């Protein structure tokens, strides 16, 4: 058996050497070349298809991301009512253009009374004290005249409150006031108007005053130059203060109405929100609440003009709209994950 294996090994060795020598110096067969080219084309085609697939995958991801930006929520009517979501109709309206200014409340000159003695003498009686309310004609004090030795009475020239008492019983009077009475049932708001707004402010214009978080509606009664020579005009507004809501020297802010603009469409300011770098309102259609981008125009303290994005007659959320905003943001965040 070993004798047979040795010749066979020699035969295969010479055969392999012959095949190797035939390949050297010859071009590969055309069929082999064609096959390799086709294989190369197939590989390139597969690579291109893979790139296209990746590109489509990216597009699908972008489209999917866009779809995930939820623009609406659905809320059943009974739930909306329970949480206080209220809507109103988009309609035409008026935008009020205003000038903002500042000032303070002052006493009216004829509501201040300094009580003095008519003749020099000695105070024999005082009937009031600081903080007492008095009526016009009410007895305040008695003084005995130095000349006649007769006693005379001092009476209140106005109704009001005793704001100051500067004498005691037994003291001699002089030209100085004995008592001070003020009446705060009517005050003046003195509002400073700077040169930039002076041409727009007129007597008779409506004014909204705010002092101590209390609003008051009035009109400009006078425009006066500043007493100290400053380059401002003082607008005076009469303030009825029977209920004592205000006090002299209270600081105030004033919005003076200088123009009224009728516009085709307005929304309440509390309905507006900023989302995704744009101004939006939430429009109601049935149980569906949709985020609606809007373009805005003029604005006042209560309403804003809408130039586009909303139509007259559509219902938009005017109360508790922040609940809709939060729900849409929450839905969008859930989709992203």
Looking at residue 229, what is its pLDDT?
76
Confidence of residue 5 (pLDDT cuts 50, 70, 90): very low
Domain ranges of the chain: 28-68, 71-95+262-336, 98-107+185-258, 110-182
Start-to-end C-alpha separation, the chain: 75
Model pLDDT for residues 189-222, shown as the tens digit of each residue: 999 999 999 999 999 999 999 999 999 999 999 9
Residue 11 predicted with pLDDT over 50:
no
Weakest mean pLDDT among 24-28, 296-300, 328-332: 24-28
Domain 71-95+262-336 class, CATH top level: mainly beta
Model pLDDT for residues 69-126, shown as the tens digit of each residue: 689 899 999 999 999 999 999 999 999 999 999 999 999 999 999 999 999 999 999 9
Confidence of residue 330 (pLDDT cuts 50, 70, 90): confident
CATH of domain 98-107+185-258: 2.40.30.170
Pairing of strands 251-268, 273-275: unpaired
Per DSSP, the residues of 152-191 read EEEE-SS-EEEEEE---TTPBP-SS-SEEEE--SEEEEEE
Residue 55 predicted with pLDDT over 50:
no
**288 three-state secondary structure:** strand
- Count of beta carbons in the 10 Å neighbourhood of residue 69: 13
Residue 37 predicted with pLDDT over 90:
no
Please give the Cα distance from 23 to 12 (Å, whole number): 17
CATH of domain 110-182: 2.40.50.100
């Amino acid at each position: 058996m070993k004798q047979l294996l040795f010749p066979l090994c020699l035969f295969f060795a010479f055969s392999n050497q012959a095949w190797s020598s035939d390949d050297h110096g010859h071009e590969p067969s055309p069929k082999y070349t064609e096959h390799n080219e086709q294989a190369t084309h197939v590989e390139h085609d597969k690579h291109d298809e893979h790139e296209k697939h990746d590109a489509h995958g990216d597009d699908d991801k972008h489209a999917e991301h866009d779809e995930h930006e939820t623009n609406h929520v659905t809320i059943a009517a009974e739930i909306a009512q329970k949480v206080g979501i209220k809507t109103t109709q988009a309609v035409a309206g008026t935008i009020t253009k205003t000038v903002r200014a500042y000032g303070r409340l002052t006493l009216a000159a004829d509501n201040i009374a300094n009580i003095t003695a008519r003749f020099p003498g000695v105070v024999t009686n005082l009937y009031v004290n600081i903080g007492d309310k008095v009526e016009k004609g009410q007895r305040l004090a008695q003084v005995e005249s130095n000349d006649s030795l007769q006693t005379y009475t001092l009476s209140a020239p106005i109704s009001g409150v005793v704001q100051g008492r500067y004498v005691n019983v037994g003291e001699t009077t002089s030209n100085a006031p004995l008592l001070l009475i003020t009446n705060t049932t009517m005050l003046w708001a003195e509002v400073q108007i700077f040169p930039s707004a002076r041409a727009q402010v007129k007597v008779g214009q409506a004014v909204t005053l705010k002092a101590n978080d209390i609003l008051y509606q009035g009109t400009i009664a006078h425009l006066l130059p500043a007493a100290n020579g400053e380059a401002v005009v003082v607008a005076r507004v009469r303030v009825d203060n029977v209920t004592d809501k205000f006090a002299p020297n209270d600081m105030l802010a004033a919005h003076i109405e200088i123009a009224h603009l009728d516009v085709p469409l307005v929304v309440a300011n509390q309905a507006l929100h900023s989302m995704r770098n744009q101004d939006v309102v939430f429009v109601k259609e049935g149980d569906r609440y949709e985020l609606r981008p809007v373009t805005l125009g003029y604005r006042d303290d209560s309403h804003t003009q809408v130039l586009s994005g909303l139509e007259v007659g559509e219902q938009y959320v005017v109360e508790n709209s922040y609940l809709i905003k939060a729900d849409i943001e929450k839905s969008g965040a859930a989709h992203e994950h």
